[in-house]
Every structure is written in structure tokens, then in C-alpha cells.
Structure 1
Amino acid sequence: MKFVDEAYIDIAAGDGGNGCVSFRHEKYKEFGGPNGGDGGRGGHVWALADVGLNTLVDYRYSRRHEAKRGEHGMGSDMFGAAGDDITLKMPVGTIISDAETGEVLYELLTPGEKLMIAKGGDGGFGNLRFKSAINRAPRQKTPGWPGERKNLKLELKVLADVGLLGMPNAGKSTLIAAVSNARPKIADYPFTTLHPNLGVVRVGPEQSFVIADVPGLIEGASEGAGLGHQFLRHLQRTRLLLHIVDAAPFDEAVDPVAQAKAIVAELKKFDPELHAKPRWLVLNKMDMVPEDERAARVKDIVKRLRFKGPVYELSALTRQGCEQLMRDIFQQVAAEQPSLDDLEVDPRFRPVDGEVG
């Protein structure tokens, strides 16, 4: 299925039903009084974060979504039924914003999260509502209120703990296939990855994290060159970036250090906050470097990059060095998990004296 991470939709909540003007007519009750009921409320439009979805492709071809209107009120004190709600299932990580102003309205960040994105109109009042001591036979009623209507932009940013950076053919797809359950396309030509791939890495019982592979970047990606600029947004929610560098390029004229610097520059142009995220250097394809040259090759790359963070040597193809890297990543991700004190939690649900209230 084609990966779609942007879509535009029009939504309309249901209008409220109209109120009713009616009077009771029964035998021996000539003036039975008003009994016109209220109209029912219109249906709401909800957004649901569904873990079973990973694209917005359904909304690329189905743009208009309307909830049912409420039924009108009737006589005999009968209120109109509420209109049926509709629920739009979206991938976790979807940002919902106003298509005209660009204002972010909602974010679906938690699996199963459900948000009302368009409120149905309230039903109108029937004449039963207007009965009073001085108005025994009211003939007033009100129409139902219109439901909300919105033009929305849907944007998907995948939720992952770790993101992979690197030039095309640096070995990102091979790495994510070696350490996780993801099965991306792998080939010996550039741009085999055309859309983000997510994989779950398990390092032990109940110990796992999510890793994301995006299409390779090239110089000028932030201005639209290549494919990577379309998917840089998917790295904005990661906690750690792995910069994959091909330590043994087939073309001897290719300088891995120059390529690595170009990617760092593209990150800074696209989003300074993304550039400031923790970044580890991973030198891949070390199995293709002669053993007596490996230490000098690594030292040269690190020195020319002036890299100060953690450096790992591995071979994604043979999986040498992958296990240790994944364990270190898990420790880093687990250490950054927010505690209860760091979250804005309703005081009613905070632990009190060792118990949850």
C-alpha cells in the first residue's frame, strides 16, 4: 500500500433537530396544554487513534465525512432522537490542523485515544419548554443549531523512540531488518526505501523500543531534493538519532565524512530542534574493511567529523555489534522515560500513601 502521510478532509457534524409546536388533545381535555418535544442533537464527529493503521491513504480518496442530523421533536412530549455519531480512525501520531490557518487543533498520540473534532448541533426547543404561569399555550419553538463544519489537514508523524539517518545505501534498511520485526525492501541501488518503516526491537522480556527507518537523505533534501525531505518530520518525535555512515563505500571517490556533514547540515536547515537531538554515530559495513585498517579508518572518520558522542562499529549484514548497540539504546530510551512527577496528571489519580486514588 502506498504510504500517505498527508491528506485534506471536510467534516460536518449533524445539525440539531427542530423543536415542535403541539397541544394535547384528549377526550374531556379541551385545553390539554402544550406537549411539543425538543429536537435531538446532531451527531458528533470523533477521531480515534488506531494502532492498526499506518497511513492516511483512506482519506486521500474519501474527503467528505458527515454525521447524521438529529430528529425533529414531536407531539405527546416526544423528543427527537440524537443523530448517529461517526468515528474516523486515524494512525497514532496524526496531527489534525485547520486547513486554512494551519493552526494545530488536535494530536493523536496515544493508542485508543478518542477526540471530538466536530460537535453536533443542539436540538431546538419545543413549545413545552415555553410553558409558564402566564403563558399557558405557547406557540414558540426554536430550530436546531447547526453542527460544526471544518476543513482539516491531516499530517502523520510516526511515533518512534529511535530514528535512522543516513545517505542512500548506507545500510539503514539492512540494520532495521537485522534487529527488529520490520521487513523493508533491500537492494544494491539507492532509494530502495520509499516510505518510513517501523520496527519493534526486543532486547529482553518486556524490554523493547520502536525504531524508524526513513528514506535516505541527500544534500539539498531540506529544499526538496531526493525523497528524504518528505519524511524528515517523522524523526521529530524520536528521542535518539542513529547516524548510519557507510565506512566502506564501493566508490573510492566517495567521502563518507563529507556525506555525514551534508546530512547534519540538512537537519539543521530543516529543524534546529531536530538537529539538537541526541545523535550517535554508527559506522556500518565494517566487515568490508580489513581488520588491520579498521582502527585507523574509525579514528580518521571520527576525527574529521569532530564527533563527541558515542561511536559504534558494526556490520548490519553479519549482525556483528548489533546486539550491544540495541542494549545501549534501550538503556538510553528507558532512562528518558518521564516519571509520574514529570507528567501533568490530575491530582485525583496520583498515588496517595502508596495507593492509587
Structure 2
Amino acid sequence: MSVETNVVLYDAETAAALDQAPDGILRHLPTGPYTFETGATLPQIVLGYETWGTLNAEATNAVYIAHALTGDSHVARGASTEPGWWDGFVGPGKTVDTNRYFVVAANMVGGCSGSTGPASLDPQGVPWGSRFPFTTIKDSVRLEARLADALGIKAWHTVLGGSMGGARALEWAVEFPERVRNCVVVAATAESSAEQIAFAQAQSAAIRLDPDFAGGDYYANERVPSAGLGIARRIAHITYRTAAELDVRFGRAPQGSEQPVASAGLDRGRYQVESYLDHQADKLVGRFDANSYLVLTEALMSHDVGRGHGSLRDALGRLEGVNFLVGAVDSDRLYWPEQSELLAKTLPNPCEVRYITSPIGHDGFLTDIEQLSEPLKREIFS
């Protein structure tokens, strides 16, 4: 039996109307009020989403792709020429072939890329800010089930994602096993480990300790917590890469003609790796909301598909009828390959972990996902 999702029903005419926009263009679905896992309720949740391809008459060719922590719904190009974050993987003739499949991607609730989040306005026109409810991965998929209903999709051919997207894909299968035929979990786990929570806590603290954070209610202020968000991104990015890659790319080299020194009182310049981290921080600060980073980070900290099902083994026991492909990055030091191996062997139908070989670490699920194309075509998209 599936969980209660505060279901909003949509008729066939509404579903048809929702599918009128061109491929790869952001659109919005008001889903009505929603009560979060914590018991908090918001009067309206809007989901921003994009689609590619055409849903067949039987609605059996729908594929759901879940984005990672600071990702969004723009998985691939379409009518927009803006590159997608999995452009080489999703599209006509590609691994996820939009000539064959109807692909859907939604921005996670709590984010800042089209779905309701802390920067969204309440009924009085004031940003939710600090009042935005604590959000979980389970909340995300329960709301995404409303999107599936609205699009006329009773069951997904496949749900897939990497990192936080992999956590969401697995949560989809556990919460709604009758609505998922295939599940692809890449560089993700069934529950966040103490180390993963620790890295995330340091990032959250960096934002909250920024003097401009203002308790989360900074939207009307002249300054926003950019410094804290930038530090959070630096911490995160170190976990996304490997020590070997950083050594090979940067070593101890200075930036430009600067000469880093250790003498007290002198301008030491910068190392190249510092400049690299600064660049990564600046990019995120320019496009992401600090409160949303907190909401999504803490949602991932709370990730545990066993919650509400007695135990992790009981939760995974619900997946007897779901076909799985579990992927891992061999150099990942955030979501260790051993954790993917544990997930794969704990499934009701244990499977072999498919590996992405990459020197860069966790981010290999983004840069080298096409290494999984052959097993995916053979085992999922045959």
C-alpha cells in the first residue's frame, strides 16, 4: 500500500494541457496544500518541471530523472539552447532516448529553481524564509507523485538519478513500488552515513554563522549570506573531487605570477587550488539561494529509506517487483563504492554494481555517466 500523499486529482484534459510546452522548457504545476513529514503544512506547493519526448497512449514510456543537490530540472537541451547537465546522456538517440521515452525532471521542493522554496512568497507576499518547513527526501517524492498524476503517469518505466538524485530515485521506489518498474541509483546510498552528515553539518554551519544570514530572513536586506554559502560550496566541492585529482591539476602551484609564502605579515598570494575553490563558490553564489542550500542539504542529511518502514531491510524488502541498476564511481570519497555494494546485495534481488571509472571522484556521476550506457541499454532501456 502506498503512503498518503495529500493527493490532488487531475483529469485527462488537465494532463493533456500540461504537456503542451516544448521540450526542455520550464513549466509550473500548482499541486495544492501539502503536509510535510514533520506535520507542518503549506497552503500551496508549486513544482517546476521540464519534459522531453512524448508520452505514449498507454503511458508506459515515462522516465523520471532526479537532480542532485544544486542541480535543477534542465537535464538536457530542447527548445532552449541552454546546455543540460546530462546533455550527452539524455536526448534523441542517446542512452535515455527521447525518441522512445517521455522524460520528466522536476525541481525538488525547497529549492530555488522553479519549485516552492524558502524564497517563495507566502499568501501575504512575504518570503517564507526561516518559516519554510524542514523537508525530507520522502516529502520530495510524495509531491513528485502528484506531478506524475497530473501528467497521467500511473507508473514510471524508470526512475533514475545520481547523488541526491539517486537518493530520490531509491526513495521513489520504496515509497511507491507499484509505480516504479526500473530504478537506477548512481553514487548514492540507502541512508546517509555519519561522515556524510558531518560534512553536510559543516556546510550548514557556515551558512548559519554568516553575519548576513539574519536567521534565514535576509531577503529584504541589502546583503545576503554569500560568504557562508561560498564556504559551504568549498567544503562540498572538496568532497566531490579526489586528492589525486587536485594534486595533478594544481599541486602547490601559485595562481598566475603570485608567489605563495608562509612568512607572517606578508601577502602570500594564492595557490591555484584556492583560486579554483573560489571560482566554484562564486558560481554557486551567483545562482543559488542560501536557504535552499540549507533545506536541501538537511533533507539529504535526513535521508533514510527505512524511516517509516520498520527497518532498512524491511524498506528494501518492498522492492521485490522493481528491477535495479546500482552504479558507483570507483574513486568516490563521499559516497563510497562499498556503500553501493551494500545496497546492491541487500535488495530482494541482489544485483552487480556497475562502475564508472574516473580519477575525479564523486562528480564522475556527472562527467562520466555515459560509461553506464551499455549496461543501461542492456538491462533497463532494452
TM-score of the superposed pair, with normalisation by structure 2:
0.26
Which structure has more strand as a fraction of its residues?
1
TM-score of the superposed pair, with normalisation by structure 1:
0.27
Q: Say which one has the larger Rg.
A: 1
